[in-house]
Amino acid sequence: MKLGVRAHDFGKLPIDELAARIACHGLSCVQLAPPKAIVGFDSDAGRFSPGFAYHVREAFQRQNIQIAVLGCYINLGDRDAAQRRPQLERFKEYIRFARDFGCSFVGTETGSVNSDFSAHPDNQGEAAFQTVLASVRELVREAEKFGVFVGIEGVERYVISSPRRLKRLVDDVDSPNLQVIFDPVNLLCAQNYRSQDDVTDEALSLLGDRICMVHAKDFTITNEKFEELPAGRGQLHYPRLMKWIKDHKPWVNVLLENTQPATIGETVTFMQESYRSA
């Protein structure tokens, strides 16, 4: 596997300093959301250019770091079309410039019917699914023009909340330019965590051929509340996940979440040892 991190977990820094700090921890790839990670780049609306993208690309290349995915997290399920439209156009801009960043992958979760991304019972309904389907179809058609992948990540509280619902989305869009970001923790909650092996196995069975990126974190249950943690500090069955990665997705980008520079060394060691022993 190629182990990496969300760039903004190291803070918002000048691009050369950011790349150097990440490289110090032996990481080889990043998920980059420019407004969250690059100082002086507070808004991305209309600000991309081939020159800017290549400048960022070179800074990471000098540190032997791949920009594995551009993170552009938008609300694909927002039932307010006026709120959804500018977000779709923003994502398309990422698609158009992705190759200049040296990247072929732009990723997002699917969001909620609520504009503020908060959970809502209607997220599990057919109307919400159709809104997301139409949004993803539009983005994938743009990606097909530029030879770029759209990566969709399932999240238990959002519209695309389960392996079966994500499989249906993939089948309905019917394009190789739609791929999957797999985060097993995002598919779990306080109600289903005891069945985590079943949830993970279902996801890998239904979506394994479309998984092009893995997110790695952990979870615990405290007073019946689901809490996220850095990888190796909770209850996720990592040997099972690592065995699948080793057998089916060699050299896949595995991006750490819920990390911080002060403790990331422990997380990197855990991930490397887990992979070796899988």
pLDDT for 51 beyond 90: yes
Question: Average model confidence (pLDDT) for the chain?
Answer: 97
State the pTM of this model: 0.96
The helix or strand, by DSSP H or E, that contains position 18, with its residue range, turns out to be helix 15-23
Do residues 36 and 82 both lie within one domain? no
Do residues 91 and 213 both lie within one domain? yes
Tell me: the pLDDT tens digits for 86-113?
Answer: 999 999 999 999 999 999 999 999 999 9
Choosing from 55, 70, 85, the residue where a domain stops is 70
Tell me: the pLDDT tens digits for 202-224?
Answer: 999 999 999 999 999 999 999 98
User: Residue 122's pLDDT is what?
Assistant: 98
**pLDDT confidence of 266, banded at 50, 70, 90?**
very high
pLDDT for 43 beyond 90: no
The DSSP secondary structure of 22-64, one letter per residue, reads: HHTTT--EEEE-HHHHBTT----TTT--HHHHHHHHHHHHTTT
User: Residue 34's pLDDT is what?
Assistant: 97
Q: Tell me, yes or no, whether 255 lies in a domain.
A: no
Is the four-CA dihedral 124, 127, 129, 135 of positive or negative sign?
negative
Tell me: the pLDDT tens digits for 185-204?
Answer: 999 999 999 999 999 999 99
Residues of the chain with pLDDT > 90, as a percent, come to 97
User: Residue 233's pLDDT is what?
Assistant: 97
d(CA 193, CA 191): 6
**pLDDT confidence of 17, banded at 50, 70, 90?**
very high
Do residues 50 and 149 both lie within one domain? no
Q: Tell me, yes or no, whether 104 lies in a domain.
A: yes
218 Cβ partners below 8 Å, 6+ apart?
185, 228, 229, 230, 231, 232, 233, 234, 235, 236, 258
User: Residue 93's pLDDT is what?
Assistant: 97
Do residues 211 and 246 both lie within one domain? yes
Could you tell me the two tokens for 131? 């809104």
User: Residue 75's pLDDT is what?
Assistant: 98
Could you tell me the two tokens for 97? 């410039």
Residue 30 lies in domain: 1-70
pLDDT for 45 beyond 90: no
Tell me: the pLDDT tens digits for 71-86?
Answer: 999 999 999 999 999 9
Do residues 82 and 213 both lie within one domain? yes
Tell me: the pLDDT tens digits for 159-169?
Answer: 999 999 999 99
Q: Mean pLDDT lowest for which of 36-50, 114-128, 160-174?
A: 36-50
Do residues 41 and 138 both lie within one domain? no
Note whether 231 and 238 are within 8 A (CB).
yes
Could you tell me the two tokens for 160? 């695309």
pLDDT for 23 beyond 90: yes
Do residues 172 and 196 both lie within one domain? yes
Do residues 58 and 93 both lie within one domain? no
Do residues 35 and 90 both lie within one domain? no
